[in-house]
Chain A
Amino acid sequence: MTLAAFLTDATVCIGCKACEVACKEWNEVPEDGFVWSGLSYDNTKALGASTWRHVMFLEQPAVAGPQQVDMQDPFRWIFLSDVCKHCGNAGCLEACPTGAIVRTNVGSVLVQSDVCNGCGYCVVSCPFGVVDKRHPDGRAFKCTFCYDRQSAGMMPACAKACPTQSIRFGELSELREHGHARVAELQQRGYSDARMYDPEETSVGGVHAMFVILGQPEAYNLPPAPEVPTIYLKSAWTSALVSALVLIAIVFAAFLL
């Protein structure tokens, strides 16, 4: 089984939003509100039920790599196309009580719209805040990793539409290797804060959407240490058990005494 993955590179993204448009058109995703956010050129603000690719526009008072001019008042503009991380250990999939959310044969996480009944538990279980309920439809939606296209041997719409190969699509371990090589190359060229966003060592068990970014992941609203909520189950159920025993003792004592 080959594991499909995205590697999205902020250092070659030009902020054209072709990925957002391609995703919308191919997947027939409805509009997500025509608002001017006032936040740089970003008017979709976050991933959501009807925003499966989200291009971020970061404005930072920092030097961009080997920048030579305007060093007194440095400024850099960074773009990054965010997407569902398709976690190795996915909170939404674990939480789904209907079996609507499944793991596909390419390792991605898919919400089956014909099964989902819109209970909303996946929404609070995603450590990346990706999946959401769509109104007034009522069901939960997120990136499908273009499972339909992948099943037909094609690459996802966003990766295909990307004009700069900022969005790369391929095999997970190959892309990871490519990402690390890209970071090393960037650092050699003076981008000292280039890094991979690839939370392998946390309970989400690695992601199928990795990113090459400049600076801290927090600036991109990428959680530095995401955890799948199932790690909290043991302690919560233990507490429930102990409290239940105390409750039995109280009630029995009340009727015995």
Chain B
Amino acid sequence: MAENNVSQNSRRARASEERLEQIRREALETGRVASGAGADSSATVSSIIGAESYYNLAVLKEPTWTWEVPLYFFVGGIAGVSSVIALAAQLFHGPAPLIRVALWMALGGASICPVFLISDLGRPSRFLNMLRVFKWRSPMSMGTWILVTFSGCSFMALAGNELLYFGYANELVTTLRWAGEFSAAITGLLLASYTGVLVGATAIPVWNQHRHLLPAHFLTSGLGGSAAILELFGFLIPATQMIGFAAAGIETLVGFVLELFRGVVEAPLHHGKSGWTMRISGTLEGPVALVVRLLWGGTSTGRHAAAICFLVGALCSRYAWIWAGRASARDPKALFALQHAAIEAREGRVPSRA
């Protein structure tokens, strides 16, 4: 019986005289016992003494957001910019079917987004508590109100447009549609950009150091994503082509700028899971989408391929930013380096430690 157990657990270290000898040898030779079966036994004397942080443990807490939040950033961005595209098409006599699809995309996104946000909450049944406060200084509060307002505005725009589509043309309906389209475009822009502020105005170093870039980055993803979906719906018109070029061009630039930042704070943008996801998704929505569009933009297959590349890249880069935030929160040295640099800048000294 006992021997059976030994053979079943042969891969696990077992208590025995030999094992004790092995532990003693390992401790003697390496100063640590890494092969231990217990909890974290890897702390070494040299890593404890003289540490520049408290055992290299995290100072900040990692973002607790679940998978729904990056998806919300993606869908919300596309929905928001769709309403801008609908308004532009309406103003400059774009194709009516495109306006209709764009308005449906706006309202569709606005309808899915609350589902993502509510299921991310620790207490989903209390989501209405968000609506008991209006707080300029909290991007989370502003975002809630932006999403609520956008939902109403995009509903008004779509309702007006559908009524006109089915032949109920009168002055009231036309006014309703215009009011809806204008207000949806404005709140849509807020919806697509505030997520960058939400992430940028936090204590997480890799986020707040890129707070200038994030709103532009997220807006561009919404712009290219919206045009890409319209292209996939068959609107292969010059306008979507031009937007596709512009968005992929800006994302190429963003990727290039991110590669230039090489400070200790930017480590999560270049290394590990977040770094590789960031790089691959950035390449997809930037250079790859741009080159595919340049070379094969004349064909519908080429444009569809470019659109898909952009969408996949934009979606994955949302996840990469959240993962980068988690890695950044875990790294006390990056936080301290940043704050030392700030202290030295305030005191007018040349940064030496950062």
Contact = CB atoms under 8 A, between A and B. Distances in A.
A220 interface: yes
- A: interface residue count bin: 35 or more
A243 B54 contact: no
Nearest to A56: B54
B163 interface: no
A37 B40 CA distance: 6
A117 to B, nearest CB: 4
A73 to B, nearest CB: 11
A243 B215 contact: yes
A227 B239 CA distance: 44
A236 B199 CA distance: 9
Interface string B115-141: 000001111101101101101011111
A247 B223 contact: yes
A39 B55 contact: yes
Contact of A252 (B91, B137, B198, B238): B91
B140 to A, nearest CB: 4
Interface stretch (A19-27, A123-131, A151-159): A123-131
B344 to A, nearest CB: 10
- B: interface residue count bin: 35 or more
A171 interface: no
A127 B203 contact: yes
A46 interface: yes
Interface in A126-143: 126-133, 137-140
A60 B50 contact: yes
A164 interface: no
A124 B54 contact: no
Interface in B72-106: 81, 84-85, 88-89, 91-92, 94
B342 A225 contact: yes
Contacts of B196: 236, 239-240
A97 B53 CA distance: 32
Nearest to B49: A61
Given A36-B40, A139-B122, A59 B49 contact: yes
A254 B242 contact: yes
Interface stretch (A5-13, A88-96, A185-193): A88-96
B41 A38 contact: yes
Interface in B38-88: 38-43, 48-55, 57-65, 81, 84-85, 88
Interface in A209-257: 216, 218-221, 223-227, 229-230, 232-233, 235-237, 239-240, 242-244, 246-248, 250-257
30 contacts: A36-B40, A38-B40, A45-B57, A46-B58, A60-B50, A94-B138, A97-B140, A97-B143, A118-B126, A119-B121, A119-B122, A120-B65, A124-B207, A219-B54, A221-B53, A225-B340, A225-B342, A230-B201, A236-B214, A236-B215, A237-B197, A239-B200, A240-B215, A240-B216, A244-B190, A244-B219, A247-B84, A250-B246, A251-B88, A251-B243
Interface of B: 38-43, 48-55, 57-65, 81, 84-85, 88-89, 91-92, 94, 120-124, 126-127, 129-130, 132-133, 135, 137-141, 143-144, 189-190, 193-194, 196-198, 200-204, 207-208, 211-216, 219-220, 223, 238-240, 242-243, 246, 325, 329, 332, 335-336, 339-340, 342-343
Which 9 residue pairs across A and B have the least CB separation, nearest first?
Answer: A118-B122, A138-B122, A117-B126, A240-B215, A97-B141, A221-B54, A243-B216, A240-B193, A98-B129
